[in-house]
Amino acid sequence: MTNNIMQKTMIFFLAVILLIPTFPVDAQENEVTVNVASLKVRSGPGLTYDTIGVVSRNDKLVVVDKENDWLQIKFGSTTGWVASWYTSNEAVEMTNKQVVSKANRLNVRTEPSTSSAVIGQLNEGDQTPAYKSEGEWIEIDFQGRKGWVNAAYITIAEQSENEVTNTENPIPEKLFVVSVDILNVRAKADLSSKQIGQVTKGTQFEVLDTNHNWVKVQLDNGKTGWLYSFYGTFSNESQSTTTSESTNTITILYNGTNLRSDSTTNSAVVKRADAGDTFEVSDKVNDWYKIVLEDKSIAYVASWVVSASNTIVPTEYPIEGTKQSRKKGTLKGLSIVIDAGHGGNDRGTTGALGTDEKDITLLTAELLSSKLQAAGANVIMTRQSDVYVDLRKRVSIGHQAAADAFISLHYDAVDNSTVRGYTTYYMHSYQKKLAEYVHAGLGNMISLRDRGTQPGNYLVLRENRQNAILIELGYLSNPTEERNVTTRQFREQATHGIYNGIINYFDNQLK
């Protein structure tokens, strides 16, 4: 080796050594790791955007941009968006996010670790603000203090809209008329906020303020509260003008709602709208509204993501369930929606022994459907195969069919393998009776621990104007229970029990 070559080699290595520190820092900043089993990649930065693919645990994602809590990542030959709180091992701040517990008795801990102390528990449907995520843990507000829950047992939702200040929101109309038998009055513009009273059908209120889907009104006792505008109509003067005024407008319920070129989810997105935006309707095509945009161009929006202010509530509400031709012990003339929980990319919970919830909910739904059909019911299934169906679409299917009952089937899981039993949920008072009948029917047929009927803030119940219930048929997180409830014999008994409950409920309506 000559001196000349030695020199050149030395200079080369020096240059390499000097350059090294700059590379890895950049690379680390732009890369995150997926820390959940599967994570949806979406076409935009929000939960309402379409899913364009899925990435898996430990996948490394190259980040090209960031918007609030969403990361734009390289995805194949294109880019997509993922929720940042399911990536990386560093703490990620979460703004305007809430956690909703998917499980009963979910432990809230002092630290992001199962070895830390338990300070309390969340039950299914409990909602609370989220502060940040760290790996598989989410830091939350727990009764005014900070605590940590495992991300596997919660879902993340946008913070309720009342938290977002919206001072320039105009008051669209002067009066709001309640169109359901009983409507809860809430302290805040939020379904989970404290109930401070109830109002009845036909009551008119002056609109003091609005906040997206909520209307602020003053009650007889002088107190003010919020009503969910879904369950009433707006009018300019008095109730008599409501009908002539007929509504040819719809209001968007969710931020980032897709407006499309045609009445199908496969058609191009021409624009996005935010919660509270209103549009003139020119036509209705199946489940879609044809709307007129500001520039007078036409677009389509799915009916299950909007509220049509004057037309949306059917007159014979809530459901009477009595149809003349029906005889006791039969379901002839009744339409019943059977909703097999989860499906497709959404597996639901996974059992201690590996059962996917989405598989057994479908098997159970099929069996229940055949029993109900045999009794003369018109059965509508929200899915009949392993496909993903949006929760709002499921509700919309029930609304379209003017269903007499909507039965959602699930299996439970919780962060504690000893928890077991079955629970029947309802949300609105008009759903409670059906829940009680079906729960009693189940209790006569299955030997699981009875966890009772409970109100549960599930979207398929909450947004449902029909008689809807959600049944959790045992805990897959308990290995003994998982073995039991995944058998054909259990499904036979459980569906027989649900069937008996439904028959008894409708027989009782005939009296």
By the criterion CB under 5 A, which residues form the site for Zn ion? 341, 348, 410
Two tokens, residue 73: 């990542």
Q: What is the 3-state secondary structure (H, E, C) of 38-88?
A: EEEEECCCCCCCCEEEEEECCCEEEEEEEECCEEEEEECCEEEEEEHHHEC
Residue, CB closest to Zn ion: 410
Asked if residue 300 lies in contact with residue 285, where contact means CB atoms within 8 angstroms, the answer is yes
Comparison of 103 and 189: residue with beta carbon closer to Zn ion: 103
Comparison of 410 and 420: residue with beta carbon closer to Zn ion: 410
Comparison of 335 and 464: residue with beta carbon closer to Zn ion: 464
* Least distance between Zn ion and beta carbon 349 (Å): 6
In angstroms, what CA-CA distances link 352 with 204, 356, 475, 481, 503? 53, 10, 9, 10, 34
Task: State the DSSP H helix or E strand holding residue 155, giving kind and residue range, or none if neither.
Answer: strand 154-158
* Least distance between Zn ion and beta carbon 447 (Å): 22
CA distance 295 to 311: 25
What backbone phi and psi angles, to 5 degrees, belong to 253? -95, -25
Comparison of 361 and 453: residue with beta carbon closer to Zn ion: 361
Comparison of 75 and 425: residue with beta carbon closer to Zn ion: 425
* Strand, coil or helix: 260: strand
* Least distance between Zn ion and beta carbon 157 (Å): 16
Cis, bond preceding 318 (omega within 30 deg of 0): yes
Two tokens, residue 455: 């109100």
* Least distance between Zn ion and beta carbon 459 (Å): 12
* Least distance between Zn ion and beta carbon 285 (Å): 32
Which among 236, 459, 486, 502 has a CA at the least distance from the CA of 350?
486
Which long-range contacts link 290-294 to residues 24+ away (Cβ below 8 Å)? 290/263, 291/250, 291/259, 293/259
State the distance between the two ends of the chain, measured CA to CA, in whole angstroms: 106
* Least distance between Zn ion and beta carbon 362 (Å): 12
Comparison of 38 and 261: residue with beta carbon closer to Zn ion: 38
* Least distance between Zn ion and beta carbon 161 (Å): 26
Comparison of 157 and 293: residue with beta carbon closer to Zn ion: 157
Contacts of 266 (CB under 8 A, 6+ apart): none
Comparison of 392 and 410: residue with beta carbon closer to Zn ion: 410
Asked if residue 56 lies in contact with residue 38, where contact means CB atoms within 8 angstroms, the answer is yes
Comparison of 191 and 471: residue with beta carbon closer to Zn ion: 471
Which among 159, 105, 104 has a CA at the least distance from the CA of 128?
159
In angstroms, what CA-CA distances link 508 with 167, 223, 264, 437? 49, 39, 41, 10
Asked if residue 338 lies in contact with residue 401, where contact means CB atoms within 8 angstroms, the answer is no
Comparison of 348 and 441: residue with beta carbon closer to Zn ion: 348
Two tokens, residue 74: 């390289």
* Least distance between Zn ion and beta carbon 36 (Å): 16
* Least distance between Zn ion and beta carbon 364 (Å): 12
What backbone phi and psi angles, to 5 degrees, belong to 507? -60, -40
* Least distance between Zn ion and beta carbon 436 (Å): 21
Quick one: CA dihedral 499, 505, 506, 511, positive or negative? Answer: positive
Comparison of 34 and 459: residue with beta carbon closer to Zn ion: 459
* Least distance between Zn ion and beta carbon 341 (Å): 4
